[in-house]
Structure 1
Amino acid sequence: MGQHTIKVPDVGEGIAEVELAEWHVAVGDLVREDQVLAAVMTDKATVEIPSPSDGKVLWLGAEEGDKMAVGAALIRLEVAGGGNTEAAAELAPEPVSESGPVTKPEARAETPQAEEVPKPARATPREDAAPPKTGAFLPRPEGEKPMAAPSVRARAREAGVDLRRVAGSGPAGRITHEDLDRLEVAPDTLAPAAGYQRNTAQEEIKVIGLRRKIAERMAEAHARIAPITYVEEVDMSALEELRERLNKTRREEQPKLTLLPFLMRAMVRAIAEQPRLNAHYDDEAGVILQSGGVHIGIAAQTGAGLMVPVVRHAEARDLWGCAAELNRVSAAAKAGHAAREELSGSTITITSLGALGGIVSTPIINRPEVAIIGVNKMAVRPVWDGSAFVPRKMMNLSSSFDHRVVDGWDAAVFVQKIKSLLETPALIFIEG
């Protein structure tokens, strides 16, 4: 029998480091050729690593969440034949994670236990010792009323603290705010209401995989972009009427229309007048990379976390084409089957939570893009038409722009153009 070491593969695009997202096997498992052993994640995609042959797992080179260099030893198998590892008994290099070396249970040596030194006996407090004045709980004599200011009593009531059991440090034993500040809450401090129980459980959840990528990208965008958020309300009544009519008369092969394809087409028209908002800003090189193609990212919540599938070349798609491609890439992202190119390359992004969209939001720009359009929830509101209040379907757009390269005036003109197209949806279909 020999040993075969599998290394972190080169996933292309100049990537030198990956994150171990998930193990599919454990030490001692028997694996078959082409069975998935692990999944590694780059900034753009998750890559599965298959087994090159049948074998038995001898060693794992990292823990989930660790970052590994391309070419580093990932896993070692016992295989039939000579394998690719010269010395079968040779231990693999010690894997290194962000928090230090990964301990391998099989390599751990027994450490002799130091002789236990007897602990000194704990001193017993004298019964006649003076009561501590640090907010400790001490029962008062029957019927003795604690002295405290009304504000202290109100604060104690809100916290559920029984002042009769609090030692005061003020004059004549008066209980002060400082006594409550210093109070170390004992298990019986807060008497739970009938039928309620305290929950003291605490779970440590390691931030790895897609969740860590999202955290890193959001933190980087927040730290490096100077955003401006512009909010405008839009009367969606005419568009909703048109959308319902088109859905009732659509052909069987045509997808059902939501608001987003209309918004995408409106953005294409607005970008034609302000192409600099369809761009990336390379702040290190000091260059704006303006794109001719309108590649719209759609922020989508999936079981694995936030992803941004991309509808490429929206400028070359009609309303139904935008809807069909949106459905396709969104379904692929939610199922976890989206290709790398379907999750990257957007030039401007839409973020929408549908009915949960709230009234106003402050979306974070998908760096290095310079604009993101946020869709808030739609609701029927009374609107003054000049003579009376009438019910209208209203919706807010909350949009953020990179203020380093987009002026407030340009941001407002862009949103107002989208607003006029959505409020008069026939204009979306008029070219020129």
Structure 2
Amino acid sequence: MRRFARELGVDLLAVRGSGPKGRVTRGDVQEFVKRTLAAGSADAAAGALRVAALPEVDFTRFGETEEHPLGRIKRISGNHLSACWLNIPHVTQFDEADITALEAFRQEQKAEAARREIKLTFLPFLMKACVGALRQIPEFNTSLSADGERLIHKRYFHIGVAVDTPQGLVVPVIRDVDRKGIFELAGELAEVSSLARAGKLSPAQLQGGCFSISSLGGIGGTAFTPIVNAPEVAILGVSRSAMKPVWDGAAFAPRLMLPLSLSYDHRVIDGAQAARFTTLLATLLGDLRHLLL
């Protein structure tokens, strides 16, 4: 009996025996295994994941303290981010895109943007490039079904854009990015960003995203690992662009390079697909004429 239990990985001390004087029988071991497997399946089906709670610390033991309530948005987003981090196997792919020509084109369009009373940032161009990449590698424009058995492909392109507000981070969704021009996207981004900072976004404006972008370019940094915004399967982080010497085959030339940080759900996306996505995105950002092909 001990050998049989050892082969099944069962601790006999955990099994209640039904034989004479409480002796554990072969049937008891088999029944114990069945109950354990059934309980494990139920937990998996319910998405159960038991994580030990962090110990409570009395910080006043070490010095003077004061408490401030955590903002409502941070409380809500914190719960969502924790669930995303615990339920999604994250991997982050890093890359760079040469945006020298794109930045020059953006500067050329500033006069037209001013005429339309619009601030033309880099973000609308990035959104259009992301849609181009999503079209060519459609696995990134999907969601995994609740049972983990099916992949839901989306035929629309709604992009979530992280906005830093005094109350915390929010991600309003810009719908039908594929159908809108650069100036239209710039105007809509300015509008939703203003609503976000005023705390006036509607619930509908925070739902339905296919893919998210988190840009820290205006603040700094060289790379980071953004958390996938479930039920999406990937999120793109961009950091501050910088001039770098890049070898062009004959000499080093100064090029404006944009750091890319692509986090993805490894259940849906593998490393090769992620590398193809960032490579494609870098190509599209390097020359937007590729979007016309």
Normalising TM by the smaller chain, what interval?
0.7 to 0.9
1:322 matched to which residue of 2? 185
For 1:413 and 1:261, locate their aligned partners in 2 and report how far apart those are by CA, in whole Å. Answer: 22
Q: Which has the higher contact order (CA 8 A, sep 6+)?
A: 2
2:87 matched to which residue of 1? 224
For 2:149 and 2:270, locate their aligned partners in 1 and report how far apart those are by CA, in whole Å. Answer: 17
**Which residue identity lines up with residue 65 of structure 2 in the other structure?**
Q
> Among 343, 348, 372, which residue is 2:206 paired with?
343
> Does 2:104 correspond to 1:241?
yes
Q: What is the correspondence of 1:291-310 to structure 2 with a 5 Å cutoff?
A: 291-310=154-173
2:122 matched to which residue of 1? 259
1:388 matched to which residue of 2? 251
For 2:221 and 2:130, locate their aligned partners in 1 and report how far apart those are by CA, in whole Å. Answer: 22
Shift, 1:214, TM fit:
1.7
* Unaligned residue ranges in structure 2 (runs of 5+): 1-61
1:425 matched to which residue of 2? 288
> Does 2:237 correspond to 1:368?
no
Give per-residue Cα distances to partners, 1:133-152, cap 9 Å, x unaligned: xxxxxxxxxxxxxxxxxxxx
Shift, 1:301, TM fit:
0.8
Shift, 1:280, TM fit:
2.1
Secondary structure of the corresponding residue to residue 355 of structure 1: coil
Contact persistence 2:71–2:168 (CA under 8 A): no
Shift, 1:251, TM fit:
6.0
Using the size of structure 2 for normalisation, the TM-score is: 0.75
> Does 2:274 correspond to 1:401?
no
Q: 1:293 to 1:400 in 2, by over 3 A?
A: same
Shift, 1:425, TM fit:
2.4
Give per-residue Cα distances to partners, 1:264-309, cap 9 Å, x unaligned: 1111111111222112223435332221111100011111101001
**Which residue identity lines up with residue 264 of structure 1 in the other structure?**
M
Contact persistence 2:101–2:287 (CA under 8 A): yes
CA RMSD after TM alignment: 1.8
Aligned length: 232
Moved over 6 A (4+): none
**Which residue identity lines up with residue 94 of structure 2 in the other structure?**
V
Name the stretch that deviates more: 204-213 or 351-360. 204-213
**Which residue identity lines up with residue 285 of structure 2 in the other structure?**
L
Higher helix proportion: 2
For 1:285 and 1:424, locate their aligned partners in 2 and report how far apart those are by CA, in whole Å. Answer: 37
For 1:314 and 1:223, locate their aligned partners in 2 and report how far apart those are by CA, in whole Å. Answer: 30
> Among 336, 347, 355, which residue is 2:218 paired with?
355
Give per-residue Cα distances to partners, 1:368-396, cap 9 Å, x unaligned: 11010111111111222223222211111
Shift, 1:341, TM fit:
0.8
Using the size of structure 1 for normalisation, the TM-score is: 0.51
